[in-house]
Structure 1
């Protein structure tokens, strides 16, 4: 079985004398190291994927020194932390290129939550399940039979309750942080991982159209904003009730009260002249 696992950086924080927590260094997130452990236990080939800048590449290196067979770094210079939906989309596209049997995702990361597994599965159009605590017919607590193209998983429901499922492959599996303790690699594996080459792919080669800016924004709605000329060219109103001042700032009222405007009952040329005259008198032109 071939597996792809995402590895994300997480800040290791140091508390200074003033009690302020400051970023000290970045290292592979513990939840992704648990997901990597799940991959190493269940797959013959493990591909670790890091998405971002230098800290993400270092996470791939950590995965290689732990036992991953290959490492891929999707490279770009982040503005801020990558939002979950963008990370999931890039991870899914890399997984599609690798054609694995399973995509493993660590859950409840400090920077991203459980939705990454679902978003990646939606992009790939694969089945998914989360909160997995055991994988494989020999590990789950059941005697059920599973299909040739299914993997048996045990997942947490709530305190003291778990269920066993057969998930058809290929699939996205979200690994619970209590799955297992990450392994300590042998010296030979660690040295080999340090020497291994990491394949670097520019972000635009994976998701054309994305940029270092868009990766930190996520879904956004842009609205056209028109400045209010009446307020913008003078001081905000100071008198009257709050409601009256709001109406006047929006250009919907006067010092005497609220109004919805004045109807100019005149031919177009005359009406235009009166509007221009009003604007000049109120210093709006």
Structure 2
């Protein structure tokens, strides 16, 4: 089985032996380390996919030192963070290009939470399962038989409860952080990972139409807002003094001879009667 794993950088603060805290550094997130570990335990081929700038490339490098077979970096220069739905879309496209049998996504990572798996699955039109704690018929806590094209997985439901199900491949799995403790790779594996070449692919080659700006803001809804007819009267006035423009915006002294506002200099009872009379004349009461 060939598995693609999304790897994302996360800020880590280092504290030396003397207790001095060093500035934050971007490293492979703990949740994605667990996802890589799950892929190493269950797949014959593991492809680490990073999306973004230099920190994403470093995350791919870390996955290679853990034992991943290949590293793919979808490169672009992010403005800040990557919008969640955009990350899922590009990760899905990269997974399709790799022709992988499954996509593993770490849950509760800084960039996105559990929704990353669902959004990527929707893009790929693959089935998905989240909060996965065990993979493989030999390891799940059940004696059920599964079809040849099904992958047995065990997932959390709530505290103290889990379920076992067979999910048809290809599929997307959200790996729960309790799946395993990432082990330290052998020196030989770590050295090979340091020397391995990372395939760099421009963002536009993987997701045509996306750029560093669209990846930052995500999906945008544009809504046309029209001013209130009584108060705004369309475009704001450009000519005249500030006071004159304010009066015209309020509807006073307009060419139509109507007033959008009027100060009533009268006792409260008389002012109230005039307001009621105005409302009745205009069928507003």
TM-score class, shorter-chain normalisation, is 0.7 to 0.9
What is the aligned partner in structure 2 of residue 39 from structure 1? 39
Q: Secondary structure at the match of 2:46?
A: strand
- Where does 1:261-272 land on structure 2 (aligned, <5 Å)? none
Q: Moved runs in structure 1, 4+ residues, more than 6 A?
A: 257-260
Q: 1:38·1:175 contact (CA, 8 Å) conserved in 2?
A: yes
Q: Secondary structure at the match of 2:142?
A: coil
Unaligned residue ranges in structure 1 (runs of 5+): 16-20, 239-246, 261-285
Distance in 1 separating the partners of 2:151 and 2:3:
13
Q: How far apart are the structure 2 equivalents of 1:226 and 1:199? A: 50
CA apart distance, 1:191: 0.4
Kept after mapping to 2: 8 A contact 1:134/1:154:
yes
Q: What RMSD, in angstroms, separates the aligned Cα atoms of the two structures?
A: 3.0
* Counterpart residue number, 2:18: none
- Deviation string, structure 1 residues 131-160 (Cα, Å, up to 9, x no partner): 000000111100000000111000000000
Residues 192-232 of structure 1 show CA distances to partners (whole Å, capped at 9, x for unaligned) of 00000000000000111111000011111123456852599
TM-score (norm 2): 0.79
Describe the superposition over 1:159-178 as per-residue Cα deviations: whole angstroms up to 9, x where unpaired: 00000000000100000011
Per the TM alignment, residue 234 of structure 1 is displaced from its structure 2 partner at its CA by 3.3
Deviation at 1:10, TM superposition (A): 0.6
Aligned residues: 247
Alignment check: 8 A CA contact 1:248 1:255 kept: no
- Aligned partner of 1:53 in structure 2 is 53
| Secondary structure of 2:242 counterpart | coil
158 and 198 in structure 1: CA distance in 2 versus 1, 3 angstrom threshold: same
Deviations 1:48-79 (A, max 9, x none): 00000000000000000000000000000001
How big is the shift at 1:255? Answer: 4.4
SS in 2 for 1:253: coil
The residue aligned with 1:147 is 147
Name the counterpart of 1:166.
166
TM-score (norm. length: structure 1): 0.79
